[in-house]
Structure 1
């Protein structure tokens, strides 16, 4: 494997992090896109599928606010991160077993246990992001995380295809197939914990002031990291109004089998890891802010193009477009956050960022689940109306909030500008948020 730095200790840890990412993505490939099909196999309703997507995100979001407090008291980010990963790994077993034992409450057991697993897995995220930002030199974050994400994406895609094949082959005994997926997920997540435990952790720089979540939220509009968090949170809300229901639309309305479902869904993953290196190089050269701006302009198109056709080849093409756009947005928005937050405040900034994104996902998915079957139909499908609504909301977020992002490299009071000119509409949006918090 390539060398990333001249420091052998750091270089070894960055390599271990690549292995950790591959193991994590193996778990995700075997589980992430199969949770809705698993719920449907347990006879879940559309509203329950929406709750399965929303409730874990709400619990995950709330857990983020406790992560800085725990890691700062442990005085070690790994002391929080590794145990949480182990617990998440073990929880995949009851996620599968308990619904088999309690048939009348099967879906509710699934929702409760999947939520618990998501919380334990996410508690260490701010600590992980802070540790990695300390390990990876600033000038190569785009390339390193692009490389790491490409390896992870290839692993995720491979495991996703294998998972789809397992379900296709076990269609007459589908629960056996899901059990195989979740059992394998346990092994891969435990491997992830092992690689994390062997990594070097740079000395943790402590923030001098105590952690007060509400105070952090009040000051969001005044900082670059805060405005980025608000923007990404709003974009996640607009996205998750529709995101959990593409799988439902394909499986129930279009009548796709697991094979077609896997092919369409995997197309986005293929594009994601293929273009990750391109976005990483571009970001290191031109800046992460430019990549965020460019991809944010394209994100509103992603759900809207689903209205044009339900042809399998066409859906594969638009999923490739989706993977291209989201790979750049996700990579650069995360790295822009690392750049915007001072090192001693980075764990807190990541926690707030994840809190807002998770809350937005939860609220968006919950609203989508409630209104999905109540909207006027387009071509006989209310899901298509939901996709159009999501596109309009994404466009509004881009139009009104994107100009508020600044290229400054630290959390400092910076004017909200757009091409050097104060943006009044953006200022009003952030002032409204501040009044709401107060």
Structure 2
């Protein structure tokens, strides 16, 4: 009969074996899923334009999927309680792949109501992403050893960034060629087919991974418990002011955000490759500047970064009015990346600092995200209404300036409203008492997905070590889009 030492050694070897295989497959899955994000939501606005979306419909493209995605994340914990964690994630990934297949088929089919069908598919796409997200974070948190999290997610970041950028640029080239041949629909069909293949591969790799907590969840989890937690969080005055500030800014940004793609593709007549390069300018700037903002906020506090970037963000739409030169627009996008990287990082750290000690960070983050999605939905629809109304008004005054007039109208209005939000909320936000922090806050980044509100978004997490060099739990869980 084997003694206890042999049993423990066998268990350690078995755990080491499945852990190595699971982490290896997780890195492979990162590359597969990034091909989906790089070829799908990176081109959502451009795809809607190619389907003939009107100015009003672009507001729905920007707002409705974000709103349903946020709702999906709120109900995710309750819904997943009826499945094992891995089973739930894999099923959602497969369904998302099918949604992407239908997007590709839509490009070839091109029915009369193609835009509305695409909006419905985009709702499903974002819904499945957000159903997966909380459980993927928990899964990775349970299997990646704390001492290896920094190296693991840094490697994952490099892998996904290279894959995403490569596919993004190649996708722009493919669309440019198909446009030149008068077959843009074929380019989008191929892109979404490739994206679906990436997601199917991702689902297969997820199924091959080991989940140590793959038993069914507690069947008695009630959605009302989550709602009660949200109510308690909302009673916190500091958190309430912060959430209203972030959500209001996102809503004002959403007024103009969908129309930058319209302006570049329809007014300036950029090729898809030129459109991609402009987006990449923002990506690179974000990636470079996030480390700078992280060091700056650690030294001087997050509120200073919030104030500076909140004063910079309002002027960004206004800068597009001064020149249509391609080089100038790349510089504007680079400035946009600088501003949004600081704003995203400082506001996320600020949320961690203001939440009550030992409270559930996920509850606060989910509530803030849901509120932001609601404001984005309202802002995007308002932007569509404004563009349509301004176009009709210009026609009534017999001013035939095409799309330029309505688009510039929302650019100017978004600038004014962003400025008003900053002016109203910033004086009300106090510098919170910073909790005891580790010696070093090391920020790890990965390119997430192209967001209709702020362009290319970067997911990030912090890996921390205390002064005694002992591992501790991450204050922010891995923000992987899946």
Query: Could you tell me whether the CA contact under 8 Å between 1:68 and 1:348 is conserved in 2?
Result: no
- CA radius of gyration, larger in: 2
Aligned counterpart for 2:361 among listed residues 346, 351, 356: 346
1:93 aligned residue (83, 96, 101): 101
Specify which of 361, 374, 385 is matched with residue 359 of structure 1: 374
Which aligned pairs between 1:23-422 and structure 2 lie closer than 5 A?
23-71=32-80, 73=81, 80-98=88-106, 100-101=108-109, 103-129=111-137, 152-171=160-179, 172-193=182-203, 198=209, 211-213=225-227, 216-217=230-231, 219-220=233-234, 222=236, 225-283=239-297, 288=302, 290-337=304-351, 340=355, 345-375=360-390, 381-402=405-426, 403-404=428-429, 406-408=431-433
DSSP 3-state at the match of 2:113: helix
Separation of aligned partners in 2, 1:363 and 1:45: 18
Measure how far apart 1:119 and its partner are.
0.7
Superposed displacement of residue 346, structure 1: 3.3
* Cα separation, 1, equivalents of 2:95 and 2:55: 29
CA distance in 1, matches of 2:153, 2:417: 29
- Equivalent residues of 2:86, 2:211 under 8 A apart: no
| In 2, Cα distance between equivalents of 1:135 and 1:283 | 30
1:154–1:273 Cα contact (<8 Å) kept? no
Deviation at 1:144, TM superposition (A): 8.7
Once residues 185 and 93 of structure 1 are traced to their aligned partners in structure 2, the CA distance between those partners, rounded to angstroms, is 8
Tell me the TM-score normalized by structure 1.
0.76
Q: Report the secondary structure of 1:103's partner residue.
A: coil
Alignment CA distance shift 1:131-1:358 (3 Å): farther
Q: Is the 8 A contact 1:143 1:281 kept in 2?
A: no
Stretches of structure 1 lacking an aligned partner (at least 5 in a row) = 1-7, 411-438
Cα 1:58/1:41, change in 2 over 3 Å: same
Shift of 1:141: 9.7
Residues 398, 273 of structure 1: alpha-carbon distance in 2 compared, 3 angstrom cutoff: same
Cα shift readout 1:392-421 (whole Å, capped 9, x = no counterpart): 2222222322342553568xxxxxxxxxxx
Taking structure 1 as reference, are residues 214 and 309 closer, same or farther at Cα in structure 2, changes over 3 Å only? farther
> Are residues 357 and 179 of structure 1, via their aligned partners in 2, closer, same or farther at CA, if it must alter by over 3 Å?
same
CA distance in 2, matches of 1:190, 1:66: 24
Distance 2:238 2:149 in 1: 19
Cα-Cα RMSD:
4.1
Q: In 2, are the aligned partners of 1:25 and 1:156 still within 8 Å (CA)?
A: yes
Deviation sequence 1:45-92 (CA, Å, 0-9, x none):
222222122221222122232123235x35976554443233212310
Contact 2:39 2:171 (8 Å CA) reproduced: yes
Is the 1:149–1:273 contact (alpha carbons within 8 Å) kept by the matching residues of 2? no
**C-alpha distance after superposition, 1:96-131 (max 9, x if no partner):** 214544612222221111211211111233444566
In 1, are the aligned partners of 2:85 and 2:213 still within 8 Å (CA)? no
Relative distance call for 1:220 and 1:79 in structure 2 (3 A) is: farther
Alignment check: 8 A CA contact 2:35 2:167 kept: yes
Moved more, 257-266 or 147-156: 147-156
CA drift at 1:341: 6.8
TM-score (norm 2): 0.70
CA–CA distance in structure 2, aligned partners of residues 137 and 343 of structure 1: 22
Alignment check: 8 A CA contact 2:104 2:191 kept = no
Q: CA deviation at 1:313?
A: 0.7
Distance across 2 between alignment mates of 1:329 and 1:209? 32
1:62/1:355 contact within 8 Å kept: yes
Q: How many residues align?
A: 403
CA contact (8 A) 1:283 1:332 kept: yes
Of Structure 1 and Structure 2, the greater helix share is in: 1
Q: Deviations over 1:122-164 (max 9, x none)?
A: 1233444566678899999999978865654443332221111
Distance 1:36 1:351, change over 3 A: same
Between 106-115 and 126-135, report the one with greater CA deviation.
126-135
Q: Does the 8 Å contact 1:140/1:284 carry over to 2?
A: no
